[in-house]
């Protein structure tokens, strides 16, 4: 059975995926290929370069070594200066580039150097299209992965071969459709993006903007999940919503995330429930499927999305 791991975006919560990947590998559920977006692209490429438990431990250590200043350098006045001088983002990408280089073993420079096939996504602002990397083995790794992890406004677009590339999550935060196209028969989706919970009220400009962005991505994820559930494939959709409350600037809880991701996947593998959306709490399911809302409005979802959310027994 041709198996794929699909790794979603997740920002500084990326260590959750590394823990989950360790649980999968310990169960012998190795991937034949990987697909990743944003933080998932970083993890997918690093694992594909060294698809072993020691390789995963090196990836975990690389995450442990990251500090806020490495990825988000400067302070409030630095950000204000970048805004006033009309820069392309709040932070420059030099630090992020160095972090990505540290995630790759020596000598691994192109997709052809990887020991497992790996595909990463980015979005081209010039053509407004999703760009898939990994099919050409001569393509260098660094620029596509940097682009896939460059959230618009937060980090600048990556200029690569005439394109202006940003986070692939803008178009496909959980790139399940790519795994289907590449012939996967079994897919493990390690999803840090989709929220199976009702969130507390958002506070602050950045938090509100990021949550609004995430709402769009959740809608895309549901569409991709619906398509996957209609395909002749065994789909394991494993959501890991832990640490959603922390700031995207906070890199202080990496060790906790590594353990939480491992435990979440271990629990799923003890009682797997394939071919359904990840466990949504009863409260969240009611909220997502409710028709009428306070104030006289009506929550709308296309019919196929309503059917998707109604699949399986409510959890919690």
For residue 219, the model assigns a pLDDT of: 73
Runs of H (alpha helix) within 104-253: 142-148, 169-172, 176-181, 205-230
Task: Render 67-110 in DSSP notation, one character per residue.
Answer: -HHHHS-S-HHHHHHHHHTT-SSSS-SHHHHHHHHHHSPTT--B
Task: Give the number of residues written for the chain.
Answer: 316
The CA-to-CA distance between both ends of the chain, in Å, stands at 33
Q: State the CB neighbour count (10 A cutoff) for residue 290.
A: 10
pTM, rounded to two decimals: 0.87
- pLDDT value for 151: 87
Report the C-alpha gap between 16 and 33 in whole angstroms.
20
Number of other CB atoms surrounding residue 79 within 10 Å: 15
What pLDDT score was predicted for residue 312? 47
Percentage above 90 pLDDT, the chain:
54
Highest mean pLDDT among 15-24, 105-114, 143-152: 15-24
Q: Could you give the CA distance from residue 6 to residue 296 in angstroms, rounded to a whole number? A: 39
Name which of 306, 273, 240 is nearest 23 in CA terms.
Answer: 240
Each residue's pLDDT tens digit, 271-310: 999 988 876 544 455 555 555 556 667 666 666 656 665 6
Per-residue pLDDT tens for 118-142?
999 999 999 999 999 999 999 999 9
What's residue 315's pLDDT? 38
Tokens of 127: 């053509």
């Amino acid at each position: 059975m041709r198996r794929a791991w699909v790794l979603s975006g997740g920002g500084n919560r990326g260590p959750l995926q590394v823990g989950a990947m360790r649980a999968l590998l310990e169960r012998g559920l190795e991937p034949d290929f990987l697909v990743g977006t944003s933080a998932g692209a970083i993890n997918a490429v690093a694992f594909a370069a060294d698809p072993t438990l020691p390789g995963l431990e090196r990836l975990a250590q690389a995450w442990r070594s990251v500090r806020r200043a490495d990825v988000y350098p400067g302070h409030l006045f630095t950000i204000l200066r970048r805004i006033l001088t009309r820069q392309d983002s709040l932070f420059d990408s030099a630090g992020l580039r160095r972090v990505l280089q540290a995630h790759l073993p020596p000598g691994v420079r192109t997709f052809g150097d990887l020991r497992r096939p790996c595909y990463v996504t980015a979005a081209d602002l010039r053509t407004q299209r999703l760009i898939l990397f990994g099919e050409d083995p001569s393509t260098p790794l660094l620029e596509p992965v940097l682009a896939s992890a460059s959230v618009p406004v937060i980090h600048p677009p990556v200029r690569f071969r005439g394109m202006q590339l940003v986070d692939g999550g803008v178009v496909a935060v959980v790139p399940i459709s790519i795994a289907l196209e590449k012939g996967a028969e079994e897919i493990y989706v390690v999803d840090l993006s989709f929220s199976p919970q009702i969130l507390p009220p958002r506070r602050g400009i950045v938090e509100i903007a990021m949550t609004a962005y995430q709402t769009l991505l959740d809608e895309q994820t549901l569409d991709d999940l619906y398509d996957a559930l209609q395909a002749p494939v065994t789909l394991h959709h494993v959501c890991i919503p832990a640490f959603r409350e922390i700031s995207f600037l906070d890199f202080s809880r990496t060790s906790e995330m590594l353990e939480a991701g491992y435990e979440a996947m271990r629990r799923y593998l003890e009682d797997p429930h394939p071919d359904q959306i990840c466990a949504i709490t009863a409260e969240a399911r009611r909220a997502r499927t409710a028709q009428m809302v306070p104030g006289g409005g009506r929550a709308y979802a296309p019919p196929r999305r309503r059917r998707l959310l109604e699949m399986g027994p409510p959890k919690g």
